[in-house]
């Protein structure tokens, strides 16, 4: 019997959520990382501690926040601290196990650009910027990245280094005195990638159901490396898919000012 139908975006979010553990302390980026982290909280990791950049600790939003300043985060947090304390004590103090980030541009070594597309002084596109992502990338125990694959997003060389991944590869982080692991996982809408232990180049270790190597390569701007043994990502379960869809429906209704679709009028 076949399982429930799902979209590539849903597969990406669910696969990302599975990487999180119940005892993780996770610094959450807005967008796809936030969806993945909250699906984890609502399914297999109910005790995960989610932290957002605005200073909210242990937040449990009923809908996905529009920004780090969304009141939903503070309303549902265990506590809210000042941004300086969040970064200096929690993040730089080594208390965050996972930093979960998105990217506009990404290279094979997990370096992230969220600043500009094109020349910095005369960009084709001005992006939202780094916010706290550069500090998250440097001080979290390890980094998970999630993004949709495209030739525009996954590039040979990013236009601007917003968040440092593995730099030029190999031991570049260690040579710079950065002691944290850096990017250890990339989840796209087509595959799961992990860095090679020596070169630190992202390598495909799992293809999502129905995806081929050719499809992965066609949407990636560098020559993709595939593991010798490639697994197939388990499809979303009914619980995972229902949890994600209900969360998205609540979020859409809240942002449009409509009643919660899950509650009776």
pLDDT band for position 79 (cuts 50, 70, 90): very high
What integer pLDDT is reported at residue 62 of this predicted model? 93
What integer pLDDT is reported at residue 263 of this predicted model? 54
**Three state DSSP letters for 69-111:** CCHHHHHHCCEECCHHHHHHHHHCCCCCCEEEECCCEECCCCC
Establish whether 10 is a catalytic residue.
no
What integer pLDDT is reported at residue 264 of this predicted model? 46
What integer pLDDT is reported at residue 31 of this predicted model? 86
- Whether the model clears a pTM of 0.85, i.e. scores above it, the answer is yes
pLDDT digits (tens, 9 = 90+) for 38-74: 999 999 999 999 999 999 999 999 999 888 888 889 9
pLDDT band for position 257 (cuts 50, 70, 90): confident
Least confident of 1-5, 63-67, 139-143, 191-195: 1-5
**Would the pLDDT of 187 be above 80?**
yes
What integer pLDDT is reported at residue 2 of this predicted model? 55
What integer pLDDT is reported at residue 256 of this predicted model? 84
Mean of per-residue pLDDT scores for the chain = 93
Rounded alpha-carbon distances, angstroms, from residue 61 to 33, 41, 86, 107, 159:
14, 10, 19, 32, 34
Over pLDDT 70: what percentage of the chain?
96
**Would the pLDDT of 77 be above 60?**
yes
CB atoms near residue 47 (< 10 Å): 10
CATH fold, domain 8-255, is Glutaconate Coenzyme A-transferase (3.40.1080)
**Would the pLDDT of 1 be above 50?**
no
* Backbone Cα Rg of the chain: 18
Q: Are 153 and 105 in contact (CB under 8 A)?
A: yes
- CA separation for the pair 193, 203 (Å, rounded): 5
Question: Per-domain residue ranges for the chain?
Answer: 8-255
Average of per-residue pLDDT across 202-225: 98
What integer pLDDT is reported at residue 239 of this predicted model? 97
pLDDT digits (tens, 9 = 90+) for 117-172: 999 999 999 998 888 999 999 999 999 999 999 999 999 999 999 999 999 999 99
What integer pLDDT is reported at residue 197 of this predicted model? 96
What integer pLDDT is reported at residue 67 of this predicted model? 85
- CA separation for the pair 184, 110 (Å, rounded): 9
* Catalytic member of 10, 53, 201, 240: 53
**Would the pLDDT of 225 be above 80?**
yes
What integer pLDDT is reported at residue 29 of this predicted model? 86
- Give the dihedral sign, CA 171/110/244/28: positive
**Three state DSSP letters for the chain:** CCCCCCCHHHHHHHHHHHCCCCCCEEEECCCHHHHHHHHHHHCCCCCCEEECCCCEECCCCCCCCCCCCCHHHHHHCCEECCHHHHHHHHHCCCCCCEEEECCCEECCCCCEECCEEECCCCEEEECCCCCCHHHHHHHCCEEEEECCCCCCCECCCCCCCCECCCCCCCCHHHHCCCCCCCEEEEECCCEEEEECCCCCCEEEEEECCCCCHHHHHHCCCCCCEEEEEEEECCCCCHHHHHHHHHHHHHHHHHHCCCCCCCCCC
**Would the pLDDT of 253 be above 50?**
yes
Q: Which of 90, 100, 108, 89 is nearest to 143 (CA)?
A: 100
């Amino acid at each position: 019997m076949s399982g429930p139908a799902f979209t590539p975006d849903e597969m990406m979010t669910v696969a990302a959520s599975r990487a999180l553990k119940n005892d993780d302390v996770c610094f959450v980026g807005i967008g796809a990382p936030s969806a993945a982290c909250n699906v984890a909280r609502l399914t297999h990791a109910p005790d995960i501690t989610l932290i957002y950049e605005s200073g909210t600790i242990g937040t449990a939003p009923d809908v996905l926040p529009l920004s780090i300043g969304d009141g939903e985060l503070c309303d549902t947090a265990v506590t809210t601290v000042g941004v300086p304390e969040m970064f200096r004590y929690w993040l730089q103090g080594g208390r965050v196990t996972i930093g979960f980030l998105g990217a506009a541009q990404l290279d094979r070594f997990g370096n992230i650009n969220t600043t500009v597309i094109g020349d910095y002084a005369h960009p084709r596109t001005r992006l939202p910027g780094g916010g706290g992502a550069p500090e998250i990338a440097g001080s979290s125990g390890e980094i998970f990245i999630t993004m949709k694959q495209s030739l525009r997003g996954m590039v040979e060389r990013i236009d601007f280094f917003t968040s440092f991944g593995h730099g030029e590869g190999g031991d570049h982080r260690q040579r710079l005195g950065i002691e944290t692991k850096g990017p250890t996982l990339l989840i796209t809408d087509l595959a799961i990638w992990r860095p090679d232990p020596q070169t630190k180049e992202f390598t495909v270790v799992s293809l999502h159901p129905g995806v081929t190597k050719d499809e992965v390569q066609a949407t990636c701007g560098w020559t993709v490396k595939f593991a010798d043994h490639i697994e197939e990502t388990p499809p979303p379960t009914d619980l995972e898919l229902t949890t994600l869809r209900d969360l998205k429906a609540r979020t859409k209704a809240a942002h449009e000012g409509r009643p919660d679709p899950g509650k009776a009028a």
